Chain A
Amino acid sequence: MYRVWYYPRKAVEWVLLIGVALVFVFPFLWMLLTAFKTLPEIYQFPPTLLPEQWEFGNFAKAWETGPFLTYVLNSFLVAVGILLLQFFTAVPAAYAFARYKFRGRNWLFGLTLIALMIPPQIVFLPVYVEMSHFQLVDTLWALILPYGASAFGIFLLRQSFMQVPDEVIEAARLDDASEWKIMWRIMVPMAKPVLVTFGLFSFIYHWNDYFWPLIMTNSDSVRTLPIGIWMLKASEGGKHWNMIMAGNVMLVFPILIVFFIAQRHIIRAFIYQSK
């Protein structure tokens, strides 16, 4: 009896599994399909699934509504700039927290944990005032500097550094390696998987960020891609959904493609906080 029902039950489960997956993935497909439709077609009701006539021009039209090359470059500069700063501030801090005993260590590490828990968006207003005192509002610095140190990065790297066996460091020290050299030449290569994990997390987070650039910028030369995409909707009266979706494809699909290539790493990067 049990055997007889095995395959039908499996089939029902597969249908449910695919159904659940579609709830989360189909909206992205819909974005892509809309991006290839003509304007009259998107205003048909009920909507068509596949475009009746594939319209490839929406992407070019979206790209030409604003300085998108600048937006893309700014997004890269900001995300990479933040990542580099975070790397160079996190490595020494994590090394000190993991490998030295010093007065005030727990206290200072506690401050880092507070910065980990409370999101920086909460203090956007005073940071904005601070930036305007430094005359940095509406520059890329205002987007990069507030994220110069990552509590999450320090936390991850510290754990990874603590797992390096003492013998490795002893051996290096016998070879007269300086502390500085041990840190960059021995510890950092050993923490490579964690660095990849953290790098993906940081890059995706800042590539996607909308709030901070919205607050800190107001001219095209320093705007990032998410702002550009949003302005596409604001400036076009918000009704050319095929073009708007084409713009969003430019923002979303690079990340989705990276996700399908490095799914394991990215999932680990994002769920690591709970460990």
Chain B
Amino acid sequence: MREPSAVAESSPVAVTQVQEQTRPWSETLRPYLYVAPALLFFALFFFYPIVYMIYLSFQDWTLLNLEEMEWVGLDNFSTLFSDPDFHLVLKNTLIYTFLTVFLGIAIAFFLALWLNRKAKIYGLVQGAIFSPHIISLVSVSMLWMWLMDPQYGLLNAMLESVGLPPSTWLADPGTALYSLVLVSVWKVVGYNTLIFIAGLQSIPQDIYESAALDRSPAWRTLYKITIPMLSPTIFFLLVINTISSFQVFDTIYIMTQGGPVNSTNMLVYYIYEQGMDFYNGGIASAASVVLLGLAGVLTLFHFLFLAKRVHYR
């Protein structure tokens, strides 16, 4: 991992830099013109919408008639937080996020320790476990719906062939959320594994050599060297996986539509439903602001952590 701020500090001083006094104004303007197109896009489709969204969360409005908006202060937030459905949505999102992130990282960690070898077979297996990551979630969702079909699906056939009882998978409120966790872990494990392998390969080998000289047992080397040296990687994966799990939408929309009985309704799906199906623009924007806050706090943690690491070096 290389942190951007460290790069900025150590970068060679730009050769294009001309003395401030002698520089013609066109040259002073040049870098601003170069960054302008990109920043214009960010401003129009990212930063302005963020501000606008916060504004919209204080309004009573609907997508059906954008001309009519009414300032309602914090009403949307109080409605939102007193809505029992929203409590369930938050709870589902947290359970889903915790399980997906924890399992996705733990399984990937052990796979990475195992698969981090040179021989060709290991490379092939790495490619195989990574392949779900580049596939559209539409196909992933439909494929797993078919595999999880309670009557004719392959998964239940396999369970029965080894004498286990079949599962209800997506059809039952008790198992639907965990089925979605299974799908997202399956999709993300390959990515996490390869990130871990990249992290493992950046650990200097001489540390392991001296540990071997000290006859350090394998578990101790793992606990005292590998895990601490991988902590930036683990932290990166925690942040990235958490932000993307918060945003789960495609699998819900295709596989469960939030059901059965709201058991798989989560934040982005809730926002979508409120905004696009029920036309509660205000509630949807208030929920978006909550989501933005969660993502913002995580991002802040990430940057603070990176900034701290620069000082340690």
Chain A residues in contact with chain B, CB under 8 A? 14, 17, 20-21, 23-25, 27-28, 30-31, 34, 42-47, 85, 88-90, 92-93, 95-102, 105-106, 108-109, 111-115, 117-123, 125-130, 132-133, 145-149, 151, 154-155, 159, 162, 166, 169-170, 179, 204, 207-211, 214-215, 226, 229-230, 233, 241, 244-245, 248, 251-252, 255-256, 259-260, 263, 266-267, 270-271, 273-275
On whether the beta carbons of B243 and A125 are closer than 8 Å, the reply is no
Among B47-55, B86-94, B258-266, which stretch is in contact with chain A? B47-55
Q: Which of B73-81, B95-103, B126-134, B173-181 contacts A (4 or more CB under 8 A)?
A: B126-134
- For B24, list chain A residues within 8 Å (CB): none
Q: Which B residues lie within 8 Å of A154 (CB)?
A: 38
Q: CA–CA, A98 to B152, complex, Å? A: 57
A154 to B46, CA, bound (A): 16
Q: Given A99-B16, A118-B296, A126-B53, decide whether A46 and B161 contact each other with a Cβ distance below 8 A.
A: yes
In the complex, which of the residues A98, A108, A208, A244 contacts B135, with contact meaning CB atoms closer than 8 Å? A208
Tell me, yes or no, whether B249 is within 8 Å of chain A by CB. yes
Given contacts A21-B125, A251-B139, A252-B135, 9 further A-B contacts (CB under 8 A): A119-B244, A119-B247, A122-B291, A122-B292, A129-B63, A130-B48, A169-B16, A267-B127, A275-B1
CB neighbours of A30 from chain B (8 A): 143, 146-147, 154
Known contacts A93-B39, A215-B276, A275-B2: A255-B135 contact under CB 8 Å: yes
Question: How far is A134 from B296 in the complex, measured between Cα atoms in Å?
Answer: 28
Q: Is the CB of A89 within 8 A of B128?
A: no
The answer to whether B135 and A230 have CB atoms under 8 Å apart is no
- Is the pair A99, B41 in contact by a Cβ cutoff of 8 Å? no
- How far apart are A233's CB and chain B's nearest CB, in angstroms? 6
**1/0 per residue B210-242: CB within 8 Å of A?**
000000000000000000000001001100100
Q: Report B's interface with A, CB cutoff 8 A.
A: 1-2, 4, 7-8, 11-17, 28, 30-35, 37-42, 44-50, 52-53, 56, 63, 66, 111, 121-122, 124-139, 142-144, 146-147, 149, 151-152, 154, 157, 160-161, 186, 189-191, 194-195, 198-199, 233, 236-237, 240, 243-244, 247, 249-250, 253-254, 268, 271-272, 275-276, 281, 284-285, 288, 291-292, 295-296, 299, 302-303
CB of A168, distance to nearest CB on chain B (Å): 10
CA distance A133 to B160 in the complex (A): 55
The A contact surface, by secondary structure, is helix
Q: Judging by beta carbons under 8 Å apart, are A43 and B15 in contact?
A: no
| Chain B residues, Cβ within 8 Å of A108 | 35, 39
B139 touching A248 by the CB < 8 A rule? yes
Given A21-B129, A155-B4, A251:B63 Cβ within 8 A: no
* Residues of the A chain whose Cβ atoms lie less than 8 Å from the Cβ of B136: 207-210, 226, 251-252, 255
The listed residue with most A CB atoms (<10 A of its CB), out of B45, B276, B296, B303, is: B45
Tell me whether A166 and B284 are in contact (CB under 8 A): no
Residue contacts A-B, CB under 8 angstroms, 11 given: A21-B125, A24-B131, A24-B189, A25-B131, A112-B38, A147-B45, A155-B4, A256-B131, A259-B134, A267-B127, A274-B1
Give the shortest distance, in Å, between B112 (CB) and chain A (any CB). Answer: 12
Interface contact A99-B15, CB-CB below 8 Å: yes
- Give the chain A neighbours of B199 by CB distance below 8 A: 274
| A118:B14 contact, CB within 8 angstroms | no
Cβ of A96 and Cβ of B56 under 8 Å apart?
Answer: no
Closest chain-B Cβ to A25's Cβ sits at a distance in Å of 5
The answer to whether B191 touches A270 (Cβ under 8 A) is yes
Known contacts A154-B38, A275-B1: A129-B299 contact under CB 8 Å: no
Q: Which of A132, A166, A233 meets B142, CB within 8 Å?
A: A233
From the candidates B16, B111, B149, B198, name the one contacting A271 in the complex (CB within 8 A): B198
Residue in contact with B45 in the complex, picked from A43, A146, A210, A275, CB distance below 8 Å: A146
In the complex, A27 Cα to B40 Cα: how many Å?
43
- How close is B285's CB to chain A, nearest CB, in angstroms? 6
Known A118-B299, A248-B142: A259·B131 in contact at CB below 8 Å:
yes
Q: Tell me if A169 and B147 are in contact (CB < 8 A).
A: no
Q: Given that A118-B299, A149-B41, A244-B142 are known contacts, is A123 also in contact with B49, CB under 8 Å in the complex?
A: yes
